[in-house]
Amino acid sequence: MMEDKKISRRTLLGTAGAAGALLVAGGLLLHNNVHAAGEVQLIAVDDIAALKALAQPEEGQIVLTRGYYAANDGGGAWYRIVASTSYTGTPDGYVDHTVGATGKVAVMDLSNGIDMLQAGVQSGVDCTARVRAAYAKNARLYTYTGDMAPIIDCDDPNYPTTRNNGGIRPPNHSEHVFDGRFRFQAKTSSLDRYTLFNLQACERVTMRRPWVIGDIETHQGTTGEWGYGFYMAGGAQHVTLVEGKAEKFWGDGYFIGVAEDKNTMQTAPEHITLENCIADSNRRQGLSITAVKHGRIIGGEYRNTGKIASTPPSYGIDIEPDNHASAYIDVALTDVVTRGNSRGGIQFVPGYLSAANVVNPFYNVYVSNYHSVEDGNVGAMRFAYPDLSSSININRKLFGSIVIEKATIERPVTKGVDWSRWIRNAPEVIASDVTVLDPNTAGIAAPTNHARCAFSLEIVADNVSKGMQTIGIVTLIRPRAIDTRATPKMMAPFWIQTAPGSSIQRLRVLDPASENDLDGNKGFLRINAADGVTVGYVGDRPVQLLDQPLTITDGMWAGYELRLPAAASGIVEVQLPPAAVSLGLTYTIVNASQAGGQVRIKANGADQLKRNGAAGSAAQIVDAQEAYTVKAHMPGLWLLLDQI
């Protein structure tokens, strides 16, 4: 159906304004470009087919379509008829259209942006070309409406010469608004990598509620791990995703960084923000960050990675730079949740920055109010280097630090927080108020103690053979390890084990607390080789009553006050661990007896106790109303310091 009316310009402007357009003779203009003109003809048609079938359109005519495929299907738009000689290029047939055999072109009005329905997108149909045509118009605003799932071909057409140049790429300086129902579905792929929203080198792009779905359930290949929902790489700048959703991708829901592929060398993306985004049931990662400057991850939930299909690391969030010259990490995560990821919630892996070709080995991560729920079996929060036999230079210092201010880790499958291959030159870690609740929901049994503790740190023989003798600087302030179950499954709060030839240095634990562990609540730390470890308390020290002889091993009761009760009589012995593997650890022995009781402090083996410059001895008596702090000062020697 078509209506052809002659109306005055004043009437036309009123009609067009109500529909979101301003018209002048010969064109559609912005408000500030309106000029006086004579009469102009307005044509209203039902759909694009009727528009293209116009027999005698006049140059300068305005055409309103009521829909794209049919009237009222949401794809209606305003068009201006122009001569083909004044049209640059060839009409794409999706946004701009050739009108019959007249040699004229219907040009869509872009003053109010483009709704994808106006480009003819359809649910369940490959609409890659249509979306690309819409983006080629460089509109400032794109809207995505309706309960539909258009299909996007994510494969790079030049694969394998290049591998990440597929999908759809929004124009610079554009805003994209999704209505919460519209989503893009990735076309089934057989390649090892692909990308749906390709944001390489994009500048100042904002997306609100974008929703993309991958092909994990229909993928035809078996190799690779790089299918991306949102790919923010190659120098992308000022890209913001708000309330995005990426699910079921062969690789990552979101990728921020510098990809290791055959594309031209990329620069690190800058000013990338994900706000309240969701990643769900992706294969490799919910979010991977391999390079970023001024990155911000605010809120959101990264969940169920690896639950449908899995390939390592299978974390909710993995911050792991590659060994690219431009690799660089500067990112803050605030109020982020990870949940139900098969191997873990958040992982820090800075090691490849040590490669010789990395120009600036900087790794700076700030985490505030992080929450992990029921994350997987490698460590809900993990600090790790790759295998030291790979391209890792253990002698190259990495700059920056990892600062964590409040993290709550609930019901991890095994350990809550893990350090693995955290070499001496790793970035400093300062973590305050990290609480682990009910670790080891899998019920791992002995002898795998490191997997069933709230905090875990290991140096294994293989790493020692490759040059790792100790760890980087780690400071824990007010860590908490709590098992609320009637039958606890947490072996110990912090399990630290080293292989021969290694020890733990530069670990500081301040005001730790723990409750209800299988090891009998003997303090926070279990460590077999301390070489400069401190456990201290700002306020009152926890107290262990000496109501029977006490043998200290493996850092038990480090930092505690060991107190002889007021009613005690006789002698109670306290056997210290070997000083050589307890360096830095301290114990305070207090004799509060009112009945003549004594405490005998005994050194281990050939170790000596040395008090206030006196000669060393194998034992020391603590009389009533006396108190000493004993500190493993050097191999073979414990110092006794008077307490006032």
Average pLDDT value for residue range 236-262 = 92
Region of residue 224 (phi > 0: left; psi between -120 and 50: alpha; otherwise: beta): left
Distance (Å, rounded) from C-alpha 327 to C-alpha 266? 9
Reported confidence tier of residue 39, pLDDT bands at 50, 70, 90: low
Dump pLDDT digits (tens) for 178-194: 999 999 999 999 999 99
Distance (Å, rounded) from C-alpha 305 to C-alpha 307? 6
Residue 552 belongs to some domain of the structure: yes
- In sequence order, which residues have a C-beta less than 8 Å from that of residue 217 and are 6 or more positions away? 248, 308
Distance of CA 21 to the CA centre of its chain: 43
Residue 66 belongs to some domain of the structure: yes
| The last residue of a domain, from among 108, 135, 162 | 108
Long-range contacts of 27-30 (CB under 8 A, 24+ apart): 27/60, 27/80, 28/62, 28/78, 28/80, 28/109, 28/111, 29/111, 30/111
Average pLDDT value for residue range 217-227 = 95
Dump pLDDT digits (tens) for 476-500: 999 999 999 999 999 999 999 999 9
Reported confidence tier of residue 261, pLDDT bands at 50, 70, 90: low
Average pLDDT, the chain: 92
| The last residue of a domain, from among 86, 108, 130 | 108
CA distances to 526, 607, 608, 621 from 633, rounded to whole Å, are: 19, 11, 11, 19
Average pLDDT value for residue range 379-393 = 94
Which pTM does this prediction carry?
A: 0.92
Question: How many domains is the chain built from?
Answer: 2
Reported confidence tier of residue 26, pLDDT bands at 50, 70, 90: very low
pLDDT at 166 over 50: yes
Closest by CA position to 616, among listed 627, 595, 626, 630: 630
For residue 205, the model assigns a pLDDT of 98
- In sequence order, which residues have a C-beta less than 8 Å from that of residue 128 and are 6 or more positions away? 151, 152, 153, 167, 168, 187
Dump pLDDT digits (tens) for 555-610: 999 999 999 999 999 999 999 999 999 999 999 999 999 999 999 999 999 999 99
For residue 644, the model assigns a pLDDT of 53
Reported confidence tier of residue 260, pLDDT bands at 50, 70, 90: low
pLDDT at 510 over 90: yes
Residue 204 belongs to some domain of the structure: no
Percent of the chain whose pLDDT exceeds 70 = 93
Residue 584 belongs to some domain of the structure: yes
Q: Which two tokens stand for residue 363?
A: 């790794």
Q: Which domain holds residue 555?
A: 543-642
Distance (Å, rounded) from C-alpha 583 to C-alpha 561? 18
Residue 125 belongs to some domain of the structure: no
pLDDT at 534 over 50: yes
Percent of the chain whose pLDDT exceeds 90 = 87
Residue 585 belongs to some domain of the structure: yes
Reported confidence tier of residue 61, pLDDT bands at 50, 70, 90: very high
Reported confidence tier of residue 40, pLDDT bands at 50, 70, 90: low
What is the torsion angle, in degrees rounded to the nearest 10, for the CA atoms of residue 604, residue 610, residue 616 and residue 622?
-80
* Other beta carbons within 10 Å of 211: 22
Distance (Å, rounded) from C-alpha 540 to C-alpha 465? 42
| The last residue of a domain, from among 108, 131, 155 | 108
What pairs with residue 106 in β-bridges? 81, 97
Residue with tokens 């001569």: 83
Distance (Å, rounded) from C-alpha 630 to C-alpha 601? 9
- In DSSP notation, 21-81 reads --EETTEE--GGG------EEEEEESSHHHHHT-SSPPTT-EEEES-SSSTTSS---EEEE
For residue 524, the model assigns a pLDDT of 98
Dump pLDDT digits (tens) for 601-642: 999 999 999 987 788 999 999 999 999 999 999 999 999 998
608: domain CATH number? 2.60.120.640
Residue 632 belongs to some domain of the structure: yes
Dump pLDDT digits (tens) for 429-459: 999 999 999 999 999 999 999 999 999 999 9
β-strand 363-373 against 329-334: which pairing, if any?
Answer: parallel
Distance (Å, rounded) from C-alpha 527 to C-alpha 585? 10
Residue 360 belongs to some domain of the structure: no
